[in-house]
Structure 1
Amino acid sequence: MYRRIALALSASLLAAAAGAATLPSHLMLPEPERAARGYVESWVLNIELTGDELSGMEPCRKILAERGFAPALSKTANSASPALHFKIAGHKDYAQASTEADDTLAALQQARCSGTLGWTVTNKTRRP
């Protein structure tokens, strides 16, 4: 059974609230009661960057690739919104809580890529 913990922040909100924002590593902490009963939790960090300007998103795509997120690029447009929109998305599995996830978000923030940054942390629980 999966329990989803999700939080999406725009890049500007992340920059403004860096000291007070919830970080992925905070969400990756195991629940002590479940751990005491033998449940093992692992984590998946999903990161998405969406925007209208691909060239402004390229530095963040490189950061994700360098950090093992295997980013995929998708392009969308439709009759209601004919302008071309881009999304770069990647994910990485973590066996335990890791500040590496926080470091990746900080690197994306410092890169100041165009678009909106969103991320989610999802836990996967294995029964004993």
Structure 2
Amino acid sequence: MYRRIALALSATLLSAAAGAAAITVPSNLMLPEADRAARGYVESWIFSIELEGEELTGMNACRKILTERGFAPTLSKTASSALPALHFKISGQKEYAQASTEADDALAAVQQAKCKGTLSWTVTSKPARR
């Protein structure tokens, strides 16, 4: 559980520091730990992408990209007393059995689309079925 939290936090922090020299991509976080693999522990990876913003029209291109790449995006509308303005959130996830540059390509496509809103992504591990 702590490992999942650490992966999620590191992905969020690293995506915020995208201007740094060494950019972390999802496939870098999908590598198994050698000692766990040696003990026979098998895991799969869930890559999640979220885009949150105030204008839905500026987010449709990213929604289309996620759909085309098999992320099955969902749309949420939210507002709260702290943030009374209506917000839209598009989120999608896809499971990978092993590290895949397909995840990197999906993230790059969403970033290049320059959709309005705040982009965040996470990679979490889960025990794989044998």
Q: TM-score interval w.r.t. the shorter chain?
A: 0.7 to 0.9
Aligned to 1:112: 114
Q: Does 1:47 align with 2:49?
A: yes
Tell me the TM-score normalized by structure 1.
0.88
Q: CA deviation at 1:84?
A: 0.8
Task: Specify which of 33, 42, 47 is matched with residue 35 of structure 2.
Answer: 33
Higher strand share: 1
1:91 aligns with 2:93: yes
Give 3-state SS (helix, strand or coil) of 2:3's partner: strand
Note if contact 2:54-2:87 (Cα within 8 Å) is conserved in structure 1. yes
Name the SS for the 1:78 alignment partner.
Answer: coil
RMSD of equivalent CA atoms: 2.3
Give the match's secondary structure for 2:91: strand
Query: In 2 relative to 1, CA 33–127 (structure 1 residues): closer, same or farther, beyond 3 Å?
Result: farther
Corresponding residue for residue 3 of structure 1: 3
The structure carrying a bigger helix percent of its residues is 2
Percent identity between the two aligned chains: 69
Q: Specify every segment of 5 or more residues in structure 1 that has no aligned partner in the other structure, as ranges.
A: none
* Offset, 1:37: 1.0
User: Paired residues, what number?
Assistant: 126
Query: Deviations along 1:25-82, whole A, 9 cap, x unmatched?
Result: 0000011111111111110001100001110010000000000000000001123322
Q: Is contact 2:48-2:121 (8 Å) kept?
A: yes
| Partner Cα distance (1:38, 1:78) in 2 | 46
